[in-house]
Every structure is written in structure tokens, then in C-alpha cells.
Structure 1
């Protein structure tokens, strides 16, 4: 995929300043050299963020404090595209993005505003890479590791940040996390061309054909089970047809085919006549219908009378309960009269003989309440005689209605007994009609399950389709293509290693995509990258394999991986470590850089020579961006290597004027 970085653009928060533009050469090795804390290591996060990264990893404080938007101009086969993304502030990221497209972008807008979101940009990049819209599970909607390949997955091959470029345990960008490592394992056969979009389409077709085959086989099995049960019941149905007079009794036992033929004749007949008609039983049916109407009316009347009788009985019970309650209160209040009778003028309390107005008042209240209860009880509360007469009348009507209902039911049973034969004959006619209808449906099912059945033919067709697709997608074919691709990459890396600072340059290596590491095949044993010592070895193997991968990607007719690689601090393994940080270094951002020894200079220069030669061999097809402490004295005058103005003496990613103005 032709996609290279033409320039990086930073928009300041202060609108008085022009955007900061950092321009690169296409198809060459671009070196940004400079001192510490000048912003070199922010280049990879900026490019990654503008290409749709899920989180913003751009360093905080100075860079994010003074920049409002980050952008990159990429050169593609469709022309230039400016992709800019807003600084997310306190959020992990933002979807606010800006897109500008042109054949060649030379002028950068002074101020920009959102005109697209991150998801739309990622879809655009997916289309530019020509990525399949199918997933790795043979479907179209899977998520996680089996989800469809995306442009974001390809970042593993385009970035080598400072913590990865010479890491013995991690070979690819973000492969130190489980999620990215598993997805990288899944997409590796795809980027190697072992699994092509065409093969993925066939995998999708195979998955769909298998699913359809399973569904059709279940339908066929269910239908065959239904058919088997029907055939087991066939003889009983034929006997039933004989009983209904629809089929003649055979002179000898019939085969299954003969019984089916006879039953099909029954279904095909149009001269079926009923041996009994409704006219022969019309009188009995009319009388029975009249009795049913009378039964419903009497039942409704009886229900009404029973309800009224129940309410009247409830009223009588309520009156009796009320009288009982009054008698209970009267009995309890009789004590007040007894107490009053035992009081005299000398003492108010009949118990202790003391004088108290309170006791006298209480006795007066109780006596008054007793008189009220006695007066209430003295009133005639008896139920009037009219109520008793009405209760007696309703009781009699309930009895009469019950007798009428019983009489109607007796007449119905008698009529049903007399017309039983007619009813049986009528039922037999209806039964024959239902039997013919069910028989026709069953025979239709049998015909559909015959040897020329559409369902059987569909199952046969799907089985053949699955067999053909499986033959085209045999695992050994994919594995063979994968082995050929890895062999080509190993050969590419093997040709580069003798020109790098590696301990055993002639030992063959292999890229282990299951373990995402490198294996060095020695004369006595094979060693993984993590088992080999020395930072120079780690750097050399990283550089050789990443360059070999891009050489292979460019050899593919329509490879999806972008044609650029950014490396941060590849010379770090040669710089001496500061044992103790000096306080003055922390204050002085322009502290003197550590110096390389002559042999280290030669090793670093070898690495740049290899990168320059690979870039030239691709004839502009591959762009490299190197961020390093090493000055132009180390990598200058190498074919294919160009340098940007060095970031020293106040020159940084973020212009000092932006900070001074704050």
C-alpha cells in the first residue's frame, strides 16, 4: 500500500502563530537528530494518533499544552490527504478530526475545525489499504480477535518506538499487550498474502454453506421422522378408510406402494356422497336446540334468585349480630349502676370512701353510656314481617327454578338417546371429510420426500459445494503459502544481517509468527531473540526483520501495509548510560549529549547504510523516519539518507516562541 508521510503539522493554541510544519522526503531515510527533551519521541505518537489510534499517547505538558491540533499530510495513490486530530484535553482521545484532500497539498490552513470523525477516517484508511470487509471466522459481524482486519492492526509494522526498537522480548509495536498480540497473530497470514481477500470470501462462502447445510439437514431429518411416523400409521389409515366406506377391502394384503396408490385414489375422487343428510335428523336437532335455549334461560334465572337469597340471609345474620353486640355492651356497663348505688353524700368513691370529683365524673359518664345502650336495645330492631314473607317467596322460587332446570336436562338426555344413531351417522360423515383432508396433506409430504425431492436435492447440492470449497481452502495450501512467505522474509533478513553489528551474521534466522519473535538457527541449537545477549544483536535483528518484512510487502501486488517505517532511538544501545543523573542536567535541556566511541560510530553508521540501501532498492517505494541522538557526523553523506535541521540550540518540535508568548 503506497502511503508515506509528507509532513507533520502542529497547530498552536495561540492563533497569532503559524502552524509548525515538519516536512519529510518520500522514499528516503529521513533523520531527525537532536538533543534530549526536544520532542523527538513524540513523532510516533502524533502519527499514530492522526491515523486513528484509540488513545492519545502524545506526551503531556509542553506539547499538548501548547498545541490545539496535531496533523499529518500523507501521500497516497489517490493524492495527498491531510489528517488532523484535536488535542483531547483531559480525555484519553477525541473523535474530532479534520480531513483535507487534494492532488498535492502545499498550503496548510491557518486554523481548522472538525469536519469528520475518527471512525470515518479509519474507514477511509481501510479502503485505501484494500482490506477485506469479511472477518477471519468466515462471517461478517465477528468482534475481537476474529474480527475483520483493520488499518489499525497494521501499525505493528510501521512503528518501532524507543521501548521496542531493541527489545529482546517484544518485536512489534504494542505486541506487549495480550489484545494486540493475539490480533497480530490472527492477521499475520493475511498480511503475508497466505490468506487473501479472495480466500476470505471463499471462507465466508464456506461458512455460510455449512450453516445452510446444517439447517437443511435438520429440516430433512425432521421431515423424514414425520414421514416414518406417517408410514408406520399408513396401515391404520387404510383400515380407517375401509371402515368409512372410502376404500374397498382388498382380497390380499397390499404393499406399501399399493396402499399409497389406493389412498391417492380416495383423495382424487370427486363423487363422494354422504350416506346421511341433516334433513333426516332436523326435527330432533330443532327440539334439542330449543331445550338448550330453555336450559340457559332457567340457569340465568336460578343464578339471580340464588344471589338474592344469599343477600337476604346475610342481612338476617347481620341483625342478629348487632343485637348480640348491644347485649354485650349492656352487660359490661351494668357495673356503673352498681357503683352509683353504693355512693352517698359523704363519699364520692364507693371503694375507698374518698372525696374526688374525678371519680364522680367518670361514674356519671358510664351511667350515661349505659342509658344510651339500654335505650338503643329497647328500640324494636326485629326484622319486619314483610322481610320474612319475601325471604319465603324467594326460597320457593329457587326451588321451582331448580326443578325446571332438572326437567329440561332430563328431556335433553332422553332426546339425545333417541337420536343417537342419527348423530353417529352424521359424525361419521364429518369424520370422513376430515380424514380425506388429513390424508391429502400426508400424501403431499410423502411426495416431497421422494427421491426427486427438492429438499433432498438441495442437501446434495450443498454437500458438494462444501466439499469443493474445502478442497480449495485446504489448510496445507494456506500453510504452504505462509511458509513460502516466511522463507522469503528470512532470506531478505539474512542478506541484511552481514552488514549489521550482529554477533553471528551468517546464522540463518526465521520469523516465528506464532510467538511473534525471531529464532536464530545456530550450528548446535536454535535460540529465540530473548535468549541472545547484547543490545547490538537485538537492534540488528529488529532492523533486519522489519526491513525484510517491508521488502516482502512491497513485492506483493496489492499489499495492505503502509510503505513507511518510523524508528525511535535505534542508536540507544551504543550510548553509555548515565549512572547518576546530574542536577545541572535536569535544569539544562541542552546538556552535552553522551559521545559515541569509534567502534560504536561505525556500528550506527552501518545501520543507517543498510536503511539507505533498502530505501534506494525500493526505488521510492519505502520511506523511513529515524529519530535519534546521533548527529549528522554519524549518518551524514550516506546515499538514501537525508537529514532535517537538527533539533539543538533551542530548536524543538514545539517552537520556543509558542512557550515564550505564554
Structure 2
């Protein structure tokens, strides 16, 4: 994977093109002309959504960015629109692919994909195998697939990184990225092959099956150990709620008895709406009121009888007294004269005699009346007492009926509760029987356990899990083999010692006898530049020779700044040959570009190195490497006559 060209589009439809070739490509010129933005444009069109292109003219005047990537037998164009105002990312993209893809006009730009599709396409075309990072089970991070995004670390060396003693790779200083480099570089270098990934996938699947079967086997053994105890407990519960009889056949298995419990049906519960009890209670209220009324009449009659008895006694006494003295002159029964002290009918016709006789007659009638009413009063009292007795019997009968109704209601409630309890027990019995393993299940699980263990052991043996570390060490040794030569070619210190790429610490180490020297403990920008380029060139040399899935290009931003006496003098060079020869360590600058040119022609033939610079050399091979004339203002990446959005709006 290399870069054929970069294209940017103005808001009014114009286009700016930059074409690249194999080998060394140099863009030199003044500051603030857009050279350093090229790496951001390439990364943006490789599927990164974050928009890191600097603020200013580029953002204001460019509407679309496009990069042509070349693969063996195919070209892929990825174009992306600039994010909308106020936005810092965009995941929309336009993708074209084919044997000969033409550069689209502005009117042909249209979104047809997104960054996820771009990453997937470029990863496949680059040849990154199916993979997943190897993360220990007890680690907090998760496994993931390596893709084109994980090659960014080795493709871009920006101005702030190229001579940084504390940071070897692009984005190494960001959170989680160091571990990502350690996880994915072995995959990109072929330590984890496609066959290995397939075997590892099959191993993980077999290990999952083994863990699951182990759990099922343990549960089966535990269930067998506790099933008899649980069955006895369930049988006891079933008897307590009346599902099973208190005694069963001694020869019947307990499981068979529990299966009998599953045939239990709830006892039907009669409906009771409370109306019967209410009706009886209302009848009782009426009867008790009637009893109280009869009792009042009876009490009144008895009181009257008692008073009448007293009056009768007195009247009888008076009557007897008058009878004894023969108060009336004539006996009413016989008509005979009975006053011995007077002659018959003596002066009875006188007024006084008539008045006296009338009083005596009245007294006699009253006494006879009292004696005559007594039988009727007694009859009335007897009638009231009989009615009172009848009402009392009716009340007692209703009270008995009410007690029965209340007892029946309580039975209904108890019956419902018993059905509920029985239903719960039946549910537990059903669950127990469903989980009860057949006698052959344990044997089957043990057989499956032996089979899965043998399969896991076979896959582990085929993978050779223990040799991955050795394979990675061998790969890193092969990469490090050329590093000392590159350091020496660039004039770096300690080139007499074997240099190596330290993947654990993500730095360069020089193995001096007794104690290694690490890059961050060395001094001088020239040394740091030499260590950076040595590590990257050796890495790409190995990937190219072994046909590993790393893109075949490297973009380096302003590497020769370490060869100028100051930053001001470096910027002042501005692509001028004369200024470069005047201010820079010319020999060191020439040595650097000669190494890069030789690497792309001899060490990794066809490799593409893109360098953005302020220095300029008069050597013909260097001038042939220039993509364009040195950038000033104009020319620059973005033409000055391109409008920004505000100008178009006006």
C-alpha cells in the first residue's frame, strides 16, 4: 500500500493535486505553507474520524480531501468532506476502487461509505489477517482485532516526535496507545499467522465448551449427592398438605411417589359471597325485636295482674265482711228477707233507704266483676308466655344456623389456603423432577469431559503456545539486526554497540557490555533522530522483505531541524539551497537524505518515503526527489485565490 496522490477541493469546485512516486519524495519550503498538514490529510483519509488538520487557511478554504492508495493490481480512492462548522470530526466518506481510478471532479464527490467501511477495505487490501489480540484472561482490557489504524504508529514521524528522546512512535504518548502498540505489532509482523488465528479461535471455542461441560458435570454430581435428601423433604411436604397419603407402599421408589403428586388436582372451593350470613343476621335482629316487644307486653300484663290480685283480695275481704253481716236486706240467690233486726221491707222505699241500697248493690257488682275478669287475664298471660317461648326457640335456631354459616366460611378460606400451599409444593416437585438427571446423563457428561480435554490438549500442542514468545524475540532480533548500521550512517553515538527495538519499553536500547543504554538517557537531537530513523527503517525493512501487512510508505516531518544551529535559522532556510548551505551542518543533512534515498532503492526496493522539509540540497538526485518547487506564498498547499465560506456567502 502506497500513496499515488493527494487532492484537495475548494468550496467553488477547484482542485489542487500532489503526485508521489516510489522512493524518496521531498516537499520543501517556508513555514506555514501546509507541508505538515499532509500527514493529517493522509491519516484522515485512512479512516480516522478525528479532524486534526490545523486551524487557518486549510480548514477555511478546503471542502473535500482525497487520497489515492495503490495496491498490487488495484487503486483505491478515499475522499472525505471537511467537518461542518463547529465540528471536530467526520466519519462520512466516498470510496472508489478499480484497476484505473480517475480523479473525480468536484461535482462527482458524494458520500457512499463511512470510516468503518474505509478501515475494513484498507485492512483487507493491505492483507492484515483475521486476528485478535492476545489478552490474558485475568486482564481488565478486552481483546480486539488489529486493523489499518494500528499501522499509524509506524507511518508518521511528525516534527515534535522525530527527535523526541521520550517518544519513539506516533501517538505513543496518548492514553492506552502504548499497550495497543505492544498488542498489535506482533500481529502486523506475522508472529500471529492466519493459521495460528484459526487454531486459536478453535482453541477458545473448545475451552469454552470444556468450561461449560465441567460446570454441568459438577452440577450433575452435586445434584446426585443431594437429590435423595431433597426428594425425602419434598415427600414430607406433599404429605403435610394432603397431596400424598400419610403412608405409601414400602416397595415404591420415592421418585415414583413424587411423580404421583404431579397428578394432584385442587379441591373445588364453593363460592361464598357473604349474603347468607348477612340474611341470617338480619332475621336474628327481627326476631330479637319481636321478643323484646312480647316481653314488654308480658311485663305490663303481669304488673296489671299483680295490682288486680291486691284489689281482688281487698274486695273479697270486703265482700265476705258484708256477706257475714248480711248487708243486703234480701238474699239475691233465694229472695228471702235476711235482716233480723228489721221487719220485712221496712221503710225500703224511702229515699235514704234507696240510696243506701244502691251503694250496696254497686259494691256487690264490683266484687263480682273482679272475680269474673281473672280468668281472661290468666289466659292472656299464658298466651304471651307461649309466644315468648316460640320466639326464643326461633332465635336459638337462627343462632345455630349463623354459627354454621360462619364455620363454613372459615372452612372455605382454609380450603383455599390448602390448595395454594399444595400448588406450591407441586411446583417444587415438578422443578425437582425436571432437573433430576437420568442415570445415563452422568456417564455421558464424563465421556464428553474426556473428549473435550483431549481436543484442547491437541489444539494447544498444534498451536505451540509456548513458542510465541520465542517467535516474537526472533522477529525483534531480525528487525534490530540493521539498526546499528543505520545509527552509524547517521552519525549517532554508541553505534559500536548492538542496537535493538525494545518493544517492552517502546524505545531504542543499545546493548553496551554491563548495562544497556536507553534512548531517553542519551543526549543530543542528532542522536535521537538517528535512533528514531534506525528503528523505523529497520522495522519497515523487515516488513517489506517478509511481505508483512504494513503500508510501504513513511512520512517524516522536518527531520533536518537538528542539524541547524537554531529553530529560527532552520525556518529561515525556507527551501533555499543557499540558506541551507550557509546555516546547516551540510554533511549531516546530505548524509540523512542519502540514507533515505538508498533505503528506498536498495534496502526496501519500491518503498516510498515522503519528507517535508525546510532544507534544500543542490544534488541532482535530491532535486529529482522534489515533488514541486519549494513552497513559498505562493505556491503552497492551498492556493491564495481560493475563497473561504464567508467570501462565498457574500
The TM tier, using the shorter chain, reads 0.5 to 0.7
Partner of 1:64: 59
Which range moves more in the overlay, 397-406 or 196-205? 397-406
Q: Equivalent residue for 1:206? A: 203
Alignment of 1:2-81 (within 5 A): 3-15=1-13, 18-25=14-21, 27-81=22-76
1:577 correspondence with 2:566 = yes
Deviation at 1:458, TM superposition (A): 1.2
Q: Are 1:54 and 1:93, in contact at CA under 8 Å, matched by a contact in 2?
A: yes
Which residue in the other structure is 1:169 paired with?
A: 166
Change (3 A) 1:398 1:215: farther
Choose the corresponding residue for 2:122, options 125, 141, 144: 125
| Mapped partners of 2:510, 2:284: distance in 1 | 102
> Which of 88, 94, 99 matches 1:98?
94
Which residue is equivalent to 2:193? Answer: 196
Shift of 1:455: 1.3
Could you tell me how far apart the structure 1 residues matched to 2:77 and 2:148 are?
A: 17
Find the aligned partners of 2:610 and 2:557 in 1 and give their Cα distance: 8
1:432-443 equivalent positions in 2, closer than 5 A:
none
Q: 1:408 to 1:218 in 2, by over 3 A?
A: closer
Which residue of 1 is the match for residue 550 of structure 2?
561
Larger Rg, first or second structure (1 or 2): 2
What's the offset of the Cα at 1:222?
1.3
The DSSP-based 3-state class of the residue aligned with 1:31 is: strand
TM-score (norm 2): 0.68
Distance 1:213 1:310, change over 3 A: farther
SS in 2 for 1:537: helix
- Structure 1 residue runs without a partner (length 5+): 248-261, 268-288, 313-391, 413-436
How big is each residue's C-alpha offset from its partner over 1:140-183, in whole Å with a ceiling of 9 and x where there is no partner?
9x996632112111110111111111111111111111222221
Change (3 A) 1:14 1:221: same
By how many angstroms is 1:516 displaced? 0.8
Asked if the contact 1:80/1:105 (under 8 Å) is kept, the reply is: yes
State which drifts further: 227-236 or 195-204.
Answer: 227-236
Cα 1:236/1:580, change in 2 over 3 Å: closer
Equivalence for 1:506 = 496
Give the 3 Å change call, closer, same or farther, for CA 443–594 of structure 1 in structure 2: closer
**Residue pair 1:146, 1:186 contacting (<8 A) in 2 also:** no
Deviations, residues 258-293 of structure 1 (Å, cap 9, x unaligned):
xxxx979x99xxxxxxxxxxxxxxxxxxxxx9xx99
Q: Distance between the aligned counterparts of 2:643 and 2:155, measured in 1?
A: 32
Displacement of 1:649 after TM fit?
A: 5.8
Cα deviation for residue 541 of structure 1 reads 1.2
1:478 corresponding residue in structure 2: 468
Cα distance in 1 for residues equivalent to 2:86 and 2:273: 81
Matches of 2:285 and 2:69, distance apart in 1:
94
1:305 corresponds to: 279
Q: Which of 56, 65, 80 is the equivalent residue of 1:85?
A: 80
Distance 1:39 1:642, change over 3 A: closer
Alpha-carbon shift at residue 640 of structure 1 (Å): 8.8
Contact 2:490 2:592 in 1 (8 A): yes
Aligned counterpart for 2:439 among listed residues 425, 438, 446: 446
Instruction: Find the counterpart in structure 1 of residue 148 from structure 2.
Output: 151
Distance 2:93 2:110 in 1: 8
Q: CA deviation at 1:563?
A: 1.0
Call closer, same or farther: CA 1:303–1:574 in 2, change over 3 Å: farther
Q: Deviations over 1:325-358 (max 9, x none)?
A: xxxxxxxxxxxxxxxxxxxxxxxxxxxxxxxxxx
Separation in structure 2 between the aligned mates of residue 98 and residue 65 of structure 1, nearest angstrom: 21
Q: Distance in 1 between matches of 2:72 and 2:594?
A: 28
Q: CA RMSD in A?
A: 4.5
Asked if 1:617 corresponds to 2:592, the answer is no
The equivalent of 1:431 in structure 2 is: none
Which piece of structure 1 moves more, 228-237 or 501-510? 228-237
Alignment of 1:110-509 (within 5 A): 110-111=106-107, 112-136=109-133, 146-230=143-227, 247=251, 296=270, 300-305=274-279, 399-405=399-405, 445-449=438-442, 453-509=443-499
The Cα of 1:536 is off from its aligned counterpart by 0.8
Q: Deviations over 1:548-567 (max 9, x none)?
A: 1011111224x221111100
Distance 1:442 1:161, change over 3 A: closer
Change (3 A) 1:168 1:399: same
Cα distance, 1:444 vs. partner?
A: 6.5
Match of 2:634 in 1: 650
Shift of 1:203: 2.7
Establish whether residue 108 from structure 1 lines up as the match of residue 90 from structure 2: no
Question: C-alpha distance in 2, partners of 1:129/1:402?
Answer: 94
Report the CA distance shift for 1:234/1:308 in structure 2 as closer, same or farther (over 3 A): closer
When the two structures are superposed, what TM-score results if normalisation uses the length of structure 1? Answer: 0.67
Secondary structure of the residue aligned to 1:44 is: helix
Aligned to 1:330: none
> For 2:522, which of 504, 529, 532 is the aligned residue?
532
Whole-angstrom distance in 1 between the partners of 2:522 and 2:9: 44
How many angstroms does 1:470 deviate by?
A: 2.8
Q: Deviations over 1:33-60 (max 9, x none)?
A: 1111111111100111111113111111
Please give the alpha-carbon distance, in whole angstroms, between the structure 2 residues aligned to 1:307 and 1:640. 119
